[in-house]
Chains A and B, each alone.
Chain A
């Protein structure tokens, strides 16, 4: 159980275009999902917390107008990188929390590697 999927696995796009990444919890409902970014040889950095039915909570320094998050259902959250630029190239990983409590385990998707040319 506790499987999280992401689509696409990798994407290459031209500078200025927008890219949508989907995160799905396959066998459980997730009120809360999280979006992380990981640059090469670095750790994961939380970008935002996605709450079903409400606005996402962004971490300091993350542009909410550039990284649009939508959590329309208990099994799906999407991250849209708008007007992507080469510096947005990174590994984007989502996670979904199994339960309602903060101490409940987060299970991660396989990640999406974004390359902006």
Chain B
């Protein structure tokens, strides 16, 4: 993906509720991959989930799932049953440059309230 767009600078959600973080991508490649990473205040980047363009089913990893809509070029992250520890920056990223480089979106800051 040559460009990743995250239009939500910040999101609030009540604990135990689900939240969707938006991500759209722009690519001319037929084969590509999309990733979501979480960055808490400590700064580390934590891999959450991956979706390949040819994957027929939406990726899921525990409470994380990816709502992949190829025609709309969107790969939204859904976090179910939000927890206080989910408060962090979330980055959507796509592979570019012959799949050798990750291009990151601007990020969405998620705040989970008790």
Task: Please list the residues of chain B having a beta carbon within 8 angstroms of any beta carbon in chain A.
Answer: 33, 35, 37, 42-47, 50, 52, 91, 95, 98-107
Contacts and interface: CB of A to CB of B under 8 A. Distances in A.
A103 B99 contact: yes
B25 to A, nearest CB: 14
B74 to A, nearest CB: 18
B45 A108 contact: yes
A36 B46 CA distance: 15
A46 B102 contact: yes
A42 B9 CA distance: 11
21 contacts: A34-B101, A42-B106, A43-B104, A43-B107, A44-B91, A45-B104, A46-B103, A49-B100, A95-B102, A101-B99, A102-B33, A102-B98, A102-B99, A103-B99, A106-B102, A108-B37, A108-B44, A108-B47, A110-B42, A110-B43, A113-B43
B94 to A, nearest CB: 11
Interface residues of A, number: 23
Interface of A: 2, 32, 34, 42-46, 49, 91, 93, 95, 101-103, 105-111, 113
Contacts of A113: 43
A44 B104 contact: yes
A2 B46 CA distance: 11
Given A44-B91, A105-B35, A34 B102 contact: yes
List the 9 shortest-distance A-B pairs measured between CB atoms, nearest first: A102-B99, A108-B45, A111-B43, A110-B44, A43-B104, A103-B33, A44-B104, A43-B106, A102-B100
